[in-house]
Amino acid sequence: MGKLDSILIVGCGNMGGAMLRGWLAAGADPARFTIVDPYLAEAPEGVALLRELPEASYDAVLLGVKPQGFAEVAAALAPRLGQSTFVLSILAGIELHSLAAALPQARGWVRIMPNLAAALGKSPMALTERGLDHAARDQVSALLDPLGLPEWIDEAQFDLATALVGSGPAFVYRFIDALAAGGAGLGFTPEQAERLALATVEGAAQLARQSPHSPADLARMVASPGGTTEAGLKVLDADQALEKLVLATLRAARDRGAELAALAAAPKES
């Protein structure tokens, strides 16, 4: 099977736009992409921008509309969908069975949980599918590879993926902000502290990604016995405070994702 050459993006907001920028930054031909969005002011150079769904067929359709607009978009898209087209969805709360029921003609259905780092080619992406064989999975993975790290999971884990991948950047930003605030509180100017905190986290993340050692091992390697790092880690590790805080944070985000998914699946009163 060949690559997915033609992509229709239905709704190109913040996340869809980040994915598109990531593909283009990686060298994808802009002519591969068509956007359908009645509100988008302009598209990147070479990318077609339409206000209504076209009659043409595409290798993949990426759904990026608001979840509450899914039913209307699916009803309009279904008659135009070819049997060779994959449906890719970044819609929160719209599960695979709903995608398949609304767009039954598709070749297969994939839910994607990326984050805005897709624009930089640095996004983890949780993927779950229905109707794809191994070769089709490879096609979808190859399409998403330029955006970061595709990871196939069970749909039962999707709310957890939403918490870790989708919400996770906000939690990391809060930690960077706290690191900077701590530095400022102990004597740096706020500007100095923020610059140093950002550079520290950036370097640490890059090293952790490239290192054969786990993050836990790297922390131990930095911490000399009786040294400054060990003194700080003892505070973070006391009573597993940091681990418990992060677990509670992810649990809250995961459980809220499940609540929102249940609301999206609930029948609407007429």
Pairing assessment for the beta strands 48-50 and 33-36 based on DSSP bridges:
parallel
Count of structural domains, the chain: 2
Pick from 133, 158, 183: which residue ends a domain? 158
Asked, for residue 57, whether it belongs to a domain, the answer is: yes
> Is the distance from CB of 119 to CB of 18 less than 8 angstroms?
yes
Asked, for residue 268, whether it belongs to a domain, the answer is: no
- CATH at residue 244: 1.10.3730.10
Q: Look at residue 266 and tell me whether its pLDDT is greater than 80.
A: no
186 with 140, same domain? no
Instruction: Identify the band that residue 253 occupies on the pLDDT scale cut at 50, 70 and 90.
Output: very high
Predicted local distance difference test score (pLDDT) of residue 179 = 97
For residue range 134-172, what is the model confidence (pLDDT) as tens digits?
999 999 999 999 999 999 999 999 999 999 999 999 999
- The closest of 137, 86, 91 to 109, measured between CA atoms, is 86
What is the enclosing helix (H) or strand (E) of 34? strand 33-36
Mean pLDDT along residues 113-132: 97
Predicted local distance difference test score (pLDDT) of residue 82 = 83
Instruction: Identify the band that residue 29 occupies on the pLDDT scale cut at 50, 70 and 90.
Output: very high
218 with 146, same domain? no
147 with 192, same domain? no
Instruction: Identify the band that residue 77 occupies on the pLDDT scale cut at 50, 70 and 90.
Output: very high
> Is the distance from CB of 78 to CB of 102 less than 8 angstroms?
yes
Asked, for residue 126, whether it belongs to a domain, the answer is: yes
Q: Report the alpha-carbon distance of residue 125 to residue 153 in Å, rounded.
A: 10
231 with 100, same domain? no
Sign of CA pseudo-dihedral 17, 21, 24, 30: positive
145 with 189, same domain? no
Mean pLDDT along residues 110-128: 97
Q: Look at residue 1 and tell me whether its pLDDT is greater than 60.
A: no
Instruction: Identify the band that residue 261 occupies on the pLDDT scale cut at 50, 70 and 90.
Output: confident
Predicted local distance difference test score (pLDDT) of residue 267 = 65
What does pLDDT average to over the chain?
94
Instruction: Identify the band that residue 260 occupies on the pLDDT scale cut at 50, 70 and 90.
Output: confident
Domain that holds residue 172: 168-259
140 with 204, same domain? no
Q: Which amino acid is at 162?
A: T
113 with 20, same domain? yes
Asked, for residue 267, whether it belongs to a domain, the answer is: no
Q: Look at residue 110 and tell me whether its pLDDT is greater than 60.
A: yes
Pick from 158, 177, 195: which residue ends a domain? 158
Mean pLDDT along residues 92-113: 95
63 with 131, same domain? yes
> Is the distance from CB of 134 to CB of 108 less than 8 angstroms?
no
11 with 89, same domain? yes
What is the enclosing helix (H) or strand (E) of 33? strand 33-36
For residue range 8-25, what is the model confidence (pLDDT) as tens digits?
999 999 999 999 999 999
55 with 145, same domain? yes
Predicted local distance difference test score (pLDDT) of residue 93 = 87
13 with 102, same domain? yes
Asked, for residue 134, whether it belongs to a domain, the answer is: yes
173 with 72, same domain? no
Tokens of 115: 């984050």
Give the number of other Cβ atoms within 10 Å of residue 14's Cβ.
10
Predicted local distance difference test score (pLDDT) of residue 118 = 97
Pairing assessment for the beta strands 60-63 and 48-50 based on DSSP bridges:
unpaired
Tokens of 57: 């067929």
